[in-house]
Amino acid sequence: MGFQLFCLRVAGFLVVLVQLWAQCSHAQPVVPAVFVFGDSTVDVGNNNYLETILKANFLPYGRDFDTKKPTGRFSDGRIATDYTISLLGFDSFPLPYLEIRSTGVNLTIGANFASGGSGFYDSTAQHFNVLTMNQQLELFKEYKNKLAAEVGSTNATSIVSDALYVVSAGNSDFLQNYYINLRLRRLYTPTQFSQIVLNLQTKFIQNLYSLGARRIGVVSVAPFGCVPLQLTVSRQATGCVESLNQVASSYNQALNNTIGHLGASLSGLKIAYFDIYNGLLDIIKNPAANGFKEARKACCGTGRVETAILCNQYLPGTCTNASEFVFFDSVHPSQAASQLLSNNLLAAGIALVS
């Protein structure tokens, strides 16, 4: 067990051991690279390069980020994976692949392929002109060629197989597609649609494995019946939209089972289920106990409907302290909530990288 990994374990059990952690932070990262695939929960700026309305590269997004500038993250600051990546010992974050593609910078520490609004069902992304999950995989193939050209094929192969992979999507397939798409709702019950999405997600993970991934963290879907936008749309005065949470929770159970099967059947694969459902639900149901003042309304604007281009600096009403809010916009968690969530993921993450 390396020193860095030792530190990671300590941090995992006692998240506040800041002093000890400070001694560790100059060690080599635990893994050579991190690759991220998914939707707006993990996009760090790929959508900036696309003709889409699903962008977050303007204020108030980013106002609490390390640089105090918007980046394309759908948050006032960091997203959960940023905390994980820092804890792994990286001193900068893997860049959006569409940026690497045009600049060639910092290729070797990995890349982020995520695109806000993407999903496993291709039309989820296509409706908003963002990268489908399959396009993200195609770009990863392109990345691998660039990496091999830069560090040689032997080094590239070990970077690819030792790296950590994070897959976080599925929410948009339901909220941005199924539930607003009459055609899909006529064709499939929620249970049938869930099965289709899960099959696509399974295929995605198998493809990632075929391309060399051996340490994969798969993020659950969120309790999306609790996001302020859904509370507004469903005129939910108290509690969350239970029918939506039920779909999310069933999806997650099936996903967790599938991950168990994949781990048992694909040789050399370490795969973990990253449960954000229960952590986020706990924060939403007990905001004060978790250090928050507001869980039903977001910080941005009225806090009831604004997200992406509708959440901008010309809106009146945006809060001054986003750390008091579980949600920064009507769909996405604040930096403070993301930090708490990332702490919940530590144990599963450590199992993958040790």
Interface ranges with ligand NAG (CB under 6 A): 91-92, 95, 105-106, 151-152, 155, 256, 260, 273, 275, 291, 321, 323-324
Residue 218: closest CA among 172, 170, 286: 170
Catalytic residue numbers?
A: 40, 329, 332
Which CB sits closer to ligand NAG, 194 or 323? 323
d(CA 351, CA 354): 6
Shortest distance, position 181 Cβ to ligand NAG, whole Å: 29
Minimum CB–partner distance for residue 332 and ligand NAG (Å):
18
What letter does residue 89 receive in the DSSP assignment?
A: T
Burial (CB count within 10 angstroms: exposed 0-12, middle 13-18, buried 19+), residue 330: buried
- Least separation in angstroms between residue 3's CB and ligand NAG is 19
| Helices 277-285 & 242-265 angle (0-180, nearest 10) | 150
Are the CB atoms for 126 and 173 separated by under 8 Å?
A: no
Radius of gyration for the alpha carbons in the chain, expressed in angstroms and rounded = 19
Specify the residue, 108 or 236, whose C-beta has the smaller distance to ligand NAG: 108
Give least dist CB 30 to ligand NAG, A.
Answer: 15
Least distance in angstroms from the C-beta of 168 to ligand NAG: 16
Measured distance between the N- and C-terminal CA atoms of the chain, rounded to whole angstroms: 8
DSSP letter at 74 equals S
C-alpha distances (whole Å) from 149 to each of 100, 142, 213, 298 are: 14, 11, 19, 45
Residues 6+ apart with CB under 8 A from 105: 95, 99
Least distance between ligand NAG and beta carbon 354 (Å): 18
Answer whether 303's CB lies under 8 Å from 327's CB: yes
Question: Which residue, 92 or 102, has its beta carbon nearer to ligand NAG?
Answer: 92
How many CA atoms are closer than 13 Å to the CA of 38, on its beta-carbon side? 25
Determine the Cα–Cα distance for residues 215 and 222; give it in Å rounded to an integer: 22
Closer by beta carbon to ligand NAG, 75 or else 323: 323
DSSP secondary structure string for all residues of 268-304 = T-EEEEE--HHHHHHHHH-TGGGT-SBSSS-SSTTSS
Closer residue to ligand NAG, CB minimum distance, 92 or 286: 92
Nearer to ligand NAG, 165 or 273 (CB): 273
**Rounded to the nearest 5°, which phi and psi values hold at 7?**
-60, -40
Q: Kindly provide the b/e burial profile for residues 66-102, where b requires at least 16 CB atoms within 10 angstroms of the residue's own CB.
A: eeeebbbbbbbbbbbbbbbbbbbbbeebbbbbbbbbe
- Please say which residue, 210 or 286, places its beta carbon nearer to ligand NAG: 286
Give the nearest distance from C-beta 91 to ligand NAG in angstroms.
5
